[in-house]
Amino acid sequence: KNQVEQSPQSLIILEGKNCTLQCNYTVSPFSNLRWYKQDTGRGPVSLTIMTFSENTKSNGRYTATLDADTKQSSLHITASQLSDSASYICVVSRRVNNNAGNMLTFGGGTRLMVKP
Amino acid sequence: DVKVTQSSRYLVKRTGEKVFLECVQDMDHENMFWYRQDPGLGLRLIYFSYDVKMKEKGDIPEGYSVSREKKERFSLILESASTNQTSMYLCASRTQGLGQPQHFGDGTRLSIL
């Protein structure tokens, strides 16, 4: 069964601290993995995409890693800011033989709160 | 920037009503999607459309239908609303091509009383 599990479900950190969010998946055949940030009351926005051959990718203070062998990804946030408070959703894409070309499986998200 | 606009941020309807949720995108994207988002369950795909007048069922299509008469507009229809359809509904669009991201609207929070 195609599944994406994220941990922790929620996390509270102090402003300026680092944190790491985890994503484990069983999706197959794997196409890519994307991290989205969803602010309260808004739609998700893509942060970064990881393909099979990529191990690490950075987008400002966000660094994503991918281990395709163990089917794990992480999102590391450095020097957190109050504006990082949001839900972070791991989404894995798999190839399918339909008109969409690929289908997405969403994790349940990690709700991060950054406190001053 | 891509803009995906959902017609209502909040909507309250009664059981048995026919409900229309509208979504418009301004980037000429071929693919459009409707999801519902519930706490602890993540986003679940209801329907998607890969072209005008084309539609395919997602993971949870029961109780819903869709319409795509124009490329920029994708409508979700609740034929006879029920309380278990109370949820956050998100529309997304995407251009064709491997690895292209989906761009989401800000959602419609629908309550069925």
Query: Over 90: is that where the pLDDT of B40 sits?
Result: no
Task: Kindly determine whether residue B4 and residue A41, on different chains, have CB atoms separated by under 8 Å.
Answer: no
Task: Kindly determine whether residue A100 and residue B43, on different chains, have CB atoms separated by under 8 Å.
Answer: no
Per-residue confidence (pLDDT) for residue B89, from 0 to 100:
98
Per-residue confidence (pLDDT) for residue A53, from 0 to 100:
86
- Of A41, A101, A106, which has the smallest distance from its Cβ to B42's Cβ? A106
Per-residue confidence (pLDDT) for residue B42, from 0 to 100:
85
Per-residue confidence (pLDDT) for residue A98, from 0 to 100:
67
pLDDT of B10-26, one tens digit each? 999 999 999 999 999 99
Confidence band, pLDDT 50/70/90 cuts, at residue A97:
confident
Query: Over 70: is that where the pLDDT of A100 sits?
Result: no
The answer to whether the CB of B58 falls within 8 A of the CB of B36 is no
C-alpha separations of B48 from A24, B71, B98, B100, B113 in Å: 26, 13, 17, 16, 27
Average pLDDT, integer, range A51-73: 93
Which is more confidently placed, B62 or A2? B62
How many residues comprise chain A?
116
| Cβ neighbours of residue B39 closer than 8 Å, sequence gap 6 or more | none
- Of A44, A51, A100, which has the smallest distance from its Cβ to B104's Cβ? A44
Instruction: State whether residue B99 is helix, strand or coil.
Output: coil
CA-based nearest residue in chain B for residue A48? B101
pLDDT of B85-94, one tens digit each? 999 999 999 9
Give the torsion sign (CA, A26, A28, A34, A37). Answer: negative
Per-residue confidence (pLDDT) for residue B41, from 0 to 100:
84
Radius of gyration (C-alpha) of chain B in whole angstroms: 13
β A56-59/A62-67 pair status: antiparallel
**Residue B1, H or E segment:** none
Mean pLDDT of chain A: 93
Query: Over 90: is that where the pLDDT of A34 sits?
Result: yes
Confidence band, pLDDT 50/70/90 cuts, at residue A99:
low
Task: Kindly determine whether residue A89 and residue B43, on different chains, have CB atoms separated by under 8 Å.
Answer: yes
